[in-house]
Amino acid sequence: MRQFLSTARKLMVCSLACLFFLPSCVKDDATVDVALVNKLSNEKGQISTEWINLSLELTKETPGFTVPVAARTFAYIGLGMYEVLVPGMKDYKSMQGKLAGFTPGTMHEVTTGNLDWALSFNECMYRLYKMLYRNSSPAGLEAIEKLYNKHLNAILPYVSKTVAESSISYGAAQASAIYSYSKTDNQEDAFLNNYPSNYSGPNGQGFWSPTSNKIRKPLQPYWGQVRTFLAYHTIKAEMIAPPSFSEDKTSSFYAYALEVRNRVENLSRQEEIMVKYWNDEQDNSITPAGHLMSILAQILDTEKKDLGFCAFAFMKLGITLHDATVMAWKTKYTYNTVRPETYIREYIDNEFLSLINPTATPEYSSSPAALAAASAEVLGGLFGYNYAFTDRTYEFRKDIDGSPRSFKSFEHMEEEISTSNLYGGIHYRFSLEAGEKQGVEIGKGVNAIR
């Protein structure tokens, strides 16, 4: 086995050199061997959920993988999953020409009928993870190697040398193409500069400053300028200003803040559990985007979906989470709205403390609400809007009550996520509502692509 793997790797280098000189244009009317299409339809999706679950662990421990950086990474992982397989997926088309900057010809054609899809998929993920998580810990990098070799050793005994070589070469080439595309958004090294020193936000009454955070600098203040995968011209909440700041007790702003204070001060035990369950923005977490990817992975495993469908689902949710994060960040740093805890301590209750710590960003709009609402739209499109499910993401955590939580629909999940941010003391109701509106429009936009 080891001798064969070594030989395969040596030949792969030569194969790759040849492959990159082949025409790489993927045509909408391109056809792939019927046997390859049939073979992919029989591939099990578990390999994809295992790679996603690894990405969650890597996100927790890789330096610099903050909320926006993680969402971007999940997007390119999902796109890589889909693009390596889509030539063998009946009635599905590449995203080339449909996503910003993802021009036709970016990806490589399938030029042989000698492919094992799972082997190509595994190679693509391995190489993509090594590039996207290149600054992970030694343990993280070792985990990538371990998962890769697990699937490699499970597949190689059942394929010929020719199939192994062509499959590995193809998967590696597609990973390289996706990574090259990812670099065109100019965020390749975003994890190295989450708190840029050259940013200076507005000062004065009603404006936000990160005084309550351990890191007293704004988190990714320019993220709202990052390229989104789709263009969103109908997000009505994007430039709708929040209520005007006022310390007047009869103002709407004061009333919104008072609601937050009263909610936090009168939580039941079950409401506290809910708040802490959805507290995904703290350091060394899987992030809100990661939690939603985890939910999708669980559903795909439960439904025993094939590999092609899994890749399609992860691609759609990944770009949704990225775009929702960018649009929320854009709004945050447009209005620089003061956080509830700051306002409440100054004008309502000087001893107030939120139940959870907010991120080092302005308050409006709520990114968790935007991500939840966008995901509810996309997941509803994939599985049905009344799909009932149970989330077991934190079942084995010891620091919180991570008991599985059941939902009667994706909308039910979205409502609980938004509510947890209000009850946790980090968002006003108007910010949650704005985030939800943004998310719905983004989800609809993603649902429209195929």
Model confidence at 235, pLDDT cuts 50, 70, 90, reads low
Query: Residue 290 has what pLDDT?
Result: 98
3-class DSSP state for residue 44?
Answer: strand
Fold for 240-447, please state it.
Vanadium-containing Chloroperoxidase; domain 2 (1.10.606)
CATH architecture of 2-24+34-183: Orthogonal Bundle (1.10)
Tell me the average pLDDT of the chain.
91
Domain with CATH 1.10.606.20 in the chain: 2-24+34-183, 240-447
Banded pLDDT at 372 (limits 50, 70, 90): very high
Q: For the CA atoms of 386, 300, 324, 72, what is the dihedral angle to 10 degrees?
A: 180
Burial pattern 157-196, b for ≥16 Cβ within 10 A else e, equals eebeeebbbbbbbbbbbbbbbbbebbeebebeebbeebee
pLDDT digits (tens, 9 = 90+) for 398-421: 999 999 999 999 999 999 999 999
284 pLDDT band, cuts 50/70/90, is confident
pLDDT, tens digit (0-9, with 9 covering 90-100), for 67-108: 999 999 999 999 999 999 999 999 999 999 999 999 999 999
Torsion of CA 232, 210, 344, 202, to 10 degrees: -70
Report the C-alpha gap between 369 and 220 in whole angstroms.
19
Q: Tens digits of per-residue pLDDT, 18-56? A: 433 333 333 343 456 788 888 899 999 999 999 999 999
Residue entry with tokens 């009850």: 423
pLDDT band at 16 (very low <50, low <70, confident <90, very high): very low
Q: How far apart are CA 347 and CA 257, in angstroms?
A: 9
